[in-house]
Structure 1
Amino acid sequence: MTPNILFAARPEQWDIYENPLKSALSEAGITANLALDLPPEEVDYMIYAPNSAVQDFTPYTRLKAVLNLWAGVENIVGNQTLKVPLARMVDHGLTQGMVEWVTGHVLRHHLGMDAHILGQDGVWRKTIPPLAEDRPVTVLGLGVLGQACAKALRGLGFPVTGWSRSPREVSDIACLSGDDGLLKALQSAEILVLLLPLTAETENLLNAERLALLPEGAMIVNPGRGPLIDDDALLAALDAGHIGHATLDVFRVEPLPPAHPYWAHPRVTVTPHIASETRAITAARVIIENVQRGEAGEPFLHLVDRSKGY
């Protein structure tokens, strides 16, 4: 039987994904009916974005899997009408984009580049930064993106500590877990990178108490999820000078409202959720590989653990 694949995302995304998905199907040797609109009872696979109009999965009685276009699944994982396997996006393009953004901003803070980029006022500011080997970096979150960034930073010479809720092992990275591990991970972090999923346990993880554990002048880089940080606590820590700078790519409300204090704060850099995006060409191959596996009766890749929320 020819599988029916529903593209359940915003209509403007169809123009971006249609040709890459059809090319990926052709490369995989799969004949399928790929469409924006199909009778729910005839859909076998759903390519899905959580901001789709589809929120009730009950009518999709033949559905085998939901294949998420995004790495984040916090807006779908709790949907009680979704009973079939849910796969999150794990894509080379998305991962590489995140590595490039994170290493770029970590190096920017490590080298103190803002003083020279923004300080073109005739003052000769000669300050020599430490070597990377003398600048401890902590990465909170050791999933695919966190591990990739931690390895890239370690490759540049930074001593990297990684923290995750459950124990992980990553070559050449000091891996910590649990509440005690989090305290140790924060206490050594001159630069802190947040790459955790958003769950009930991680919301406001970086609160006033934990911000106080960071070394004086620590830099924060958050391309993970906005609600990982207590915004009021961060602003207070920045105003007090305890946190040296925060580069933030994600926020509780996006786009970030023009009146939000982050925009005008001299120790905050706002970037408009650009740390990494799903790339249509590489993402299409990931999605179609899962369709291929489903049709062959093989286990799906990158499945979400509903009990953990990611």
Structure 2
Amino acid sequence: MSFLIISPKKDPKAWIEALKAEAPDLDLEVYPQVKDPSKVEYVLSWRHPHGIYRDFKNLKVIASMGAGIDHIISDKEIPEHIQITRVVDEQLTKDMSVFVLSLILEHLRNLAQHHSQNEWKPTSYQLPEDTQVGIMGMGVLGVGVAEKLIQNKFNVTGWSRTKKEILGVTTYHGDEQLEEFLRESRVLVNLLPLTSETKNVLQKSLFEALPKGAFVINVARGEHLVEDDLIEVINNGHLAGAALDVFRKEPLPREHPFWKNKKIRVSPHIASITNPVTVVPQILENYERMKEGKELKNVVDREKEY
């Protein structure tokens, strides 16, 4: 039985070091250097080449290196019996919460404008207690962001596919309550998982349902956003602007129009970055659970796609 890392677009060095520090005797291999594919039962994966898992006949578990699993489930050739797990890490939640709070405060206090202009021109600003923030996606990260915003006196609403009850948050769910949720959101934060249903969810009709002058933050996945629609509703004045940390193509090409739009803030996918040292213990715990035939933690629902 061997433990395999497949991350062709991410240097696995930090993961190897963290795994070896926790489990020195681990039979660890790194793709494409695989001695015997039939012995591989557990894979730690990030953006694998689609179709590759057909070569591992005894594979039981694919563990994502991060909270996102869209890069795995988008491969329709993965057999149904293989379990997929994701990372749930307190530090990831803390990082995301602070990042989103920072973006909202930057917007409310007009900091980007002040930093870019060459004149002494104070502007008025909106207080947190007068600001309604709507969060799309009330999973672990969404709830963490909501709690951080509430601590800082923001009014928070949340929308999810299914009904949720979250202390201090006015919640909405399903398509029938989406418009009401959007209508009240002066700042909209997208933290939805990327699924076949949520792909392209950030598009023109959704933006137009927001109040005039709303601000949009996308820290989930680039594929959620219809880029041309965002540019249109910003340029026509309906949206005040947007802060984007994720993109359909990363790194974002230098010729992309987002760079030139003064109302769009671009950051290089830094909102919440997985730390192998803090995450490896849960990866290894699931590895041991697999070997012992026990129920795994943080298993993905293949039908829900998250």
SS at match of 1:44: strand
In structure 2, the residue matched to 1:118 is 116
In structure 2, the residue matched to 1:97 is 95
SS at match of 1:106: helix
**Would you say 1:48 and 2:42 are equivalent positions?**
no
Q: Distance in 2 between matches of 1:13 and 1:180?
A: 44
Q: List per-residue Cα deviations over 1:159-198 (Å, max 9, x = no partner).
A: 1001111112211111111112211111111111111111
In structure 2, the residue matched to 1:293 is 289
2:230 aligned residue (234, 252, 266): 234
**Would you say 1:213 and 2:209 are equivalent positions?**
yes
Q: Distance in 2 between matches of 1:122 and 1:266?
A: 17
SS at match of 2:70: coil
Q: What are the residue-to-residue correspondences of 1:90-239 with 2, within 5 Å?
A: 90-119=88-117, 121-127=118-124, 129-239=125-235
TM-aligned CA distance change 1:191 to 1:8, over 3 Å: same
**Would you say 1:281 and 2:291 are equivalent positions?**
no
Q: List per-residue Cα deviations over 1:3-25 (Å, max 9, x = no partner).
A: 42111223862211111112233
8 A Cα contact 1:93 1:283, kept in partner: no
SS at match of 2:120: coil
Percent sequence identity over aligned pairs = 33
Q: Distance in 2 between matches of 1:161 and 1:299?
A: 34
SS at match of 1:89: coil
SS at match of 1:150: helix
Q: Distance in 2 between matches of 1:124 and 1:12?
A: 44
**Would you say 1:302 and 2:278 are equivalent positions?**
no
**Would you say 1:32 and 2:26 are equivalent positions?**
yes
* Structure 2, unaligned runs of 5 or more: none
Q: TM-score, normalised by structure 2?
A: 0.92
In structure 2, the residue matched to 1:87 is 85
Q: How many residues align?
A: 301
TM-aligned CA distance change 1:55 to 1:284, over 3 Å: farther
TM-aligned CA distance change 1:279 to 1:55, over 3 Å: farther
Bigger mean CA offset, 209-218 vs 89-98? 89-98
Q: Distance in 2 between matches of 1:76 and 1:258?
A: 28
8 A Cα contact 1:195 1:222, kept in partner: yes
TM-aligned CA distance change 1:302 to 1:38, over 3 Å: farther
In structure 2, the residue matched to 1:14 is 12
Bigger mean CA offset, 287-296 vs 209-218? 287-296
Q: List per-residue Cα deviations over 1:221-278 (Å, max 9, x = no partner).
A: 1111112122111111100111101111111122222222111011111111111211
Task: Report the aligned-residue RMSD.
Answer: 1.8
2:67 aligned residue (36, 48, 71): 71
How far does residue 86 in structure 1 lie from its aligned partner after superposition? 0.4
8 A Cα contact 1:6 1:38, kept in partner: no
Q: Which amino acid counterpart does residue 140 of structure 2 have in structure 1?
A: V
8 A Cα contact 1:224 1:250, kept in partner: yes
In structure 2, the residue matched to 1:61 is 57
* Structure 1, unaligned runs of 5 or more: none
